[in-house]
Amino acid sequence: MAAGTSKPNSKSSVLTPGELEEFINETIKNPKPYKRVIIGKLSNEAKKRIKANSKGIVDGGKLININIDSESVYYANSKFHHNLEPRDLLLAVEVINTATDIQLSDTKHQDNNVLIFRKDIDGEITFLTEARVKKGYLLVFDAWRQKKAHSRKRSDAAKNAPESYVQDELTHEQALSKM
Protein backbone atom coordinates (compact mmCIF):
# COMPACT_ATOMS: atom_id res chain seq x y z
CA MET A 1 0.00 0.00 0.00
CA ALA A 2 1.80 3.07 -1.24
CA ALA A 3 -0.29 5.69 0.53
CA GLY A 4 0.03 4.19 4.03
CA THR A 5 3.01 4.94 6.17
CA SER A 6 4.12 3.83 9.60
CA LYS A 7 4.10 7.37 10.98
CA PRO A 8 2.54 10.05 8.81
CA ASN A 9 3.58 13.65 9.11
CA SER A 10 1.60 16.77 8.32
CA LYS A 11 2.78 16.62 4.69
CA SER A 12 1.65 13.01 4.14
CA SER A 13 -1.25 12.51 1.80
CA VAL A 14 -4.76 11.65 2.87
CA LEU A 15 -5.95 8.19 1.87
CA THR A 16 -8.69 8.05 -0.72
CA PRO A 17 -11.85 6.16 0.31
CA GLY A 18 -10.67 3.20 -1.78
CA GLU A 19 -7.23 3.21 -0.17
CA LEU A 20 -8.81 3.45 3.29
CA GLU A 21 -11.10 0.51 2.55
CA GLU A 22 -8.07 -1.49 1.36
CA PHE A 23 -6.16 -0.52 4.52
CA ILE A 24 -9.10 -1.62 6.71
CA ASN A 25 -9.54 -4.96 4.92
CA GLU A 26 -5.80 -5.73 4.96
CA THR A 27 -5.53 -4.79 8.63
CA ILE A 28 -8.44 -6.97 9.69
CA LYS A 29 -6.66 -9.92 8.07
CA ASN A 30 -3.27 -9.02 9.57
CA PRO A 31 -2.73 -6.03 11.93
CA LYS A 32 1.06 -6.33 11.75
CA PRO A 33 3.17 -4.40 10.95
CA TYR A 34 1.91 -1.32 12.73
CA LYS A 35 0.79 1.45 10.36
CA ARG A 36 -0.80 4.83 11.02
CA VAL A 37 -2.43 6.70 8.15
CA ILE A 38 -4.16 10.01 7.56
CA ILE A 39 -7.81 9.45 6.68
CA GLY A 40 -8.96 13.07 6.50
CA LYS A 41 -8.57 16.71 7.39
CA LEU A 42 -10.45 18.37 10.23
CA SER A 43 -12.89 21.04 9.03
CA ASN A 44 -12.81 24.55 10.56
CA GLU A 45 -16.36 24.04 11.83
CA ALA A 46 -15.35 20.79 13.58
CA LYS A 47 -12.38 22.56 15.19
CA LYS A 48 -14.75 25.14 16.67
CA ARG A 49 -17.19 22.47 17.91
CA ILE A 50 -14.33 20.52 19.49
CA LYS A 51 -13.11 23.55 21.41
CA ALA A 52 -16.64 24.48 22.53
CA ASN A 53 -17.65 20.94 23.53
CA SER A 54 -14.39 20.24 25.37
CA LYS A 55 -14.81 23.43 27.44
CA GLY A 56 -11.61 24.76 25.87
CA ILE A 57 -9.49 21.85 27.16
CA VAL A 58 -8.80 20.64 23.61
CA ASP A 59 -7.77 23.43 21.26
CA GLY A 60 -9.38 22.27 18.04
CA GLY A 61 -7.64 25.07 16.14
CA LYS A 62 -4.32 23.24 16.49
CA LEU A 63 -5.67 19.99 15.04
CA ILE A 64 -5.23 19.38 11.33
CA ASN A 65 -5.48 15.67 10.46
CA ILE A 66 -7.64 12.72 11.38
CA ASN A 67 -5.58 9.54 11.65
CA ILE A 68 -6.23 5.88 12.32
CA ASP A 69 -3.78 3.07 12.97
CA SER A 70 -3.77 -0.63 12.24
CA GLU A 71 -4.15 -1.60 15.90
CA SER A 72 -7.31 0.50 16.24
CA VAL A 73 -8.85 -0.92 13.07
CA TYR A 74 -8.17 -4.45 14.20
CA TYR A 75 -9.39 -3.84 17.75
CA ALA A 76 -12.66 -2.14 16.76
CA ASN A 77 -13.53 -4.84 14.25
CA SER A 78 -12.48 -7.81 16.38
CA LYS A 79 -14.80 -6.99 19.27
CA PHE A 80 -18.16 -8.60 18.56
CA HIS A 81 -19.99 -6.28 20.94
CA HIS A 82 -18.78 -3.20 19.02
CA ASN A 83 -21.34 -4.20 16.39
CA LEU A 84 -19.26 -2.83 13.50
CA GLU A 85 -18.96 -3.77 9.89
CA PRO A 86 -15.54 -2.96 8.38
CA ARG A 87 -17.11 -0.28 6.11
CA ASP A 88 -18.39 1.59 9.21
CA LEU A 89 -14.86 2.89 9.76
CA LEU A 90 -15.14 4.71 6.42
CA LEU A 91 -17.61 7.04 8.20
CA ALA A 92 -15.06 8.33 10.73
CA VAL A 93 -14.10 11.52 8.89
CA GLU A 94 -17.72 12.41 8.10
CA VAL A 95 -18.82 11.84 11.70
CA ILE A 96 -15.91 13.79 13.19
CA ASN A 97 -16.38 16.71 10.80
CA THR A 98 -20.17 16.94 11.10
CA ALA A 99 -21.15 15.61 14.53
CA THR A 100 -22.74 18.03 16.96
CA ASP A 101 -22.76 15.38 19.70
CA ILE A 102 -19.17 15.73 20.92
CA GLN A 103 -18.04 15.02 24.47
CA LEU A 104 -14.77 15.11 26.34
CA SER A 105 -14.25 11.90 28.29
CA ASP A 106 -13.36 12.08 31.97
CA THR A 107 -10.70 9.45 31.30
CA LYS A 108 -7.59 9.88 29.20
CA HIS A 109 -6.28 7.23 26.83
CA GLN A 110 -2.52 6.83 26.79
CA ASP A 111 -2.19 10.24 28.49
CA ASN A 112 -4.23 11.98 25.77
CA ASN A 113 -7.62 13.65 26.13
CA VAL A 114 -10.38 11.57 24.58
CA LEU A 115 -13.11 13.07 22.42
CA ILE A 116 -16.29 11.10 21.78
CA PHE A 117 -18.12 11.80 18.50
CA ARG A 118 -21.64 10.44 17.94
CA LYS A 119 -23.93 10.65 14.95
CA ASP A 120 -26.93 8.75 13.65
CA ILE A 121 -26.03 7.22 10.30
CA ASP A 122 -28.23 4.16 9.83
CA GLY A 123 -28.18 3.83 13.63
CA GLU A 124 -25.99 5.64 16.13
CA ILE A 125 -22.26 5.29 15.52
CA THR A 126 -19.59 6.51 17.92
CA PHE A 127 -15.92 7.20 17.35
CA LEU A 128 -13.43 7.64 20.17
CA THR A 129 -10.35 9.71 19.37
CA GLU A 130 -7.19 10.68 21.16
CA ALA A 131 -6.55 14.40 20.81
CA ARG A 132 -2.85 14.71 20.07
CA VAL A 133 -2.83 18.49 19.94
CA LYS A 134 0.95 18.97 20.05
CA LYS A 135 1.29 16.77 16.98
CA GLY A 136 -1.77 18.27 15.24
CA TYR A 137 -4.07 15.29 14.83
CA LEU A 138 -6.93 13.23 16.20
CA LEU A 139 -6.29 9.49 16.35
CA VAL A 140 -9.37 7.32 15.98
CA PHE A 141 -8.71 4.49 18.41
CA ASP A 142 -12.09 2.86 18.82
CA ALA A 143 -15.54 2.75 17.24
CA TRP A 144 -18.95 1.48 18.21
CA ARG A 145 -22.48 0.97 16.90
CA GLN A 146 -25.53 0.90 19.13
CA LYS A 147 -27.59 -0.90 16.51
CA LYS A 148 -27.53 -0.96 12.76
CA ALA A 149 -30.39 -1.88 10.51
CA HIS A 150 -29.87 -5.30 8.93
CA SER A 151 -26.74 -5.98 10.97
CA ARG A 152 -25.32 -9.47 10.69
CA LYS A 153 -24.24 -9.13 14.31
CA ARG A 154 -26.35 -10.05 17.30
CA SER A 155 -29.14 -7.70 18.34
CA ASP A 156 -27.89 -7.23 21.92
CA ALA A 157 -24.55 -5.85 20.79
CA ALA A 158 -23.41 -2.48 22.08
CA LYS A 159 -25.52 -2.41 25.24
CA ASN A 160 -22.91 -0.55 27.27
CA ALA A 161 -22.09 3.08 26.64
CA PRO A 162 -18.80 3.67 24.80
CA GLU A 163 -17.49 5.66 27.75
CA SER A 164 -17.27 2.45 29.76
CA TYR A 165 -14.71 1.21 27.26
CA VAL A 166 -12.70 4.41 27.41
CA GLN A 167 -11.94 3.44 31.01
CA ASP A 168 -9.88 0.45 29.77
CA GLU A 169 -6.27 1.35 30.39
CA LEU A 170 -4.85 -1.39 28.14
CA THR A 171 -2.70 -0.16 25.30
CA HIS A 172 -3.58 -1.39 21.84
CA GLU A 173 -0.49 -3.64 21.94
CA GLN A 174 -1.69 -5.24 25.18
CA ALA A 175 -5.19 -5.75 23.79
CA LEU A 176 -3.81 -7.39 20.65
CA SER A 177 -1.58 -9.71 22.69
CA LYS A 178 -4.61 -10.96 24.64
CA MET A 179 -6.47 -11.98 21.46
pLDDT band at 9 (very low <50, low <70, confident <90, very high): low
Q: What is the mean pLDDT of residues 117-121?
A: 94
pLDDT in tens, 12-27: 799 999 999 999 999 9
Taking the model in full, what pTM does it have? 0.78
Query: Regarding predicted confidence, which is higher, 2 or 73?
Result: 73
Q: What is the mean pLDDT of residues 150-157?
A: 49
Q: What is the mean pLDDT of residues 71-78?
A: 92
Show the DSSP H helices in the chain as ranges.
Answer: 17-29, 44-53, 70-78, 92-98, 162-166, 172-177
Q: Rounded to 5 degrees, what are φ and ψ at 24?
A: -60, -50
Instruction: Classify burial at 71, counting beta carbons within 10 Å of its beta carbon; exposed 0-12, middle 13-18, buried 19 or more.
Output: buried
| Residues facing 41 on adjacent strands | 65
pLDDT in tens, 25-49: 999 999 899 999 999 999 999 999 9
